[in-house]
Amino acid sequence: MTNWRSAARSRPDGEGVLDRVLDVVPGSATDKPALYSSLKMAVQVVTDGERDPIANMANAAALIWQYLPDLNWAGFYRLIGDELVLGPFQGKAACIRIALGRGVCGTAAATREVQCVADVHAFPGHIACDTASVSEVVVPLVYEGRLLGVLDLDSPRPARFDEEDVAGLTAVCAVLAPALAH
């Protein structure tokens, strides 16, 4: 497996690095720590030096879609004023605006706590953007104490997400948040 940190450091102008990131073969879903380590490094590479938060979210959503199995939606909601507004994503068309405190995304944003939901139909106030979604994990994106938005992943598989996913996605978001704060 390519060491993405050394690839990023050795690049004079970024040429070829994106190709190396996109050529990666994601690890087995049974080795989640290795999978998330690779995903985190790939996100670091594609966001390094890029100041546009929309471009960074778009590339991160694409990488998450590429790396993680059993997803039917992966993307971002940005905090604009006092509501979450749809950002870059992979999957079916989605709800555009979500009030803070409403649904899984709004709850994660309002509490600034990860929401890992095994059965979204049992979640009070769940917003069904895609009726195929059964489980969901939402990670708040916080940088220097400021809420920027949330990362939202949906799966058609019940209880798709677990504590390893929460830990891995939290680490990915910690790397990504500074690239979204511009």
Q: What is the mean pLDDT of residues 15-37?
A: 70
Q: Is the pTM of this model over 0.85?
A: yes
**Confidence bin at 21 (pLDDT 50/70/90):** low
pLDDT in tens, 105-119: 999 999 999 999 999
Residue type, 10: S
Q: Residues 70, 104: contact at Cβ < 8 Å?
A: no
**63: which 2 tokens?**
């990488």
Q: Tell me: pLDDT of 72 over 90.
A: yes
Mean pLDDT of all residues belonging to the chain: 89
What is the pLDDT, as a whole number, of residue 5?
40
Question: In the chain, what are the domains?
Answer: 4-180 (3.30.450.40)
Give the pairing of strands 146-155 and 97-99: unpaired
Alpha helices in the chain (DSSP H): 4-10, 17-22, 32-47, 53-67, 103-111, 163-180
For residue 154, CA distances in Å to 31, 75, 145, 177 come to: 20, 9, 26, 20
Q: What is the mean pLDDT of residues 170-179?
A: 98
Please provide residue 102's backbone torsions phi and psi, each rounded to the nearest 5 degrees. Answer: -105, 130
Give the max Cα distance, the chain: 51
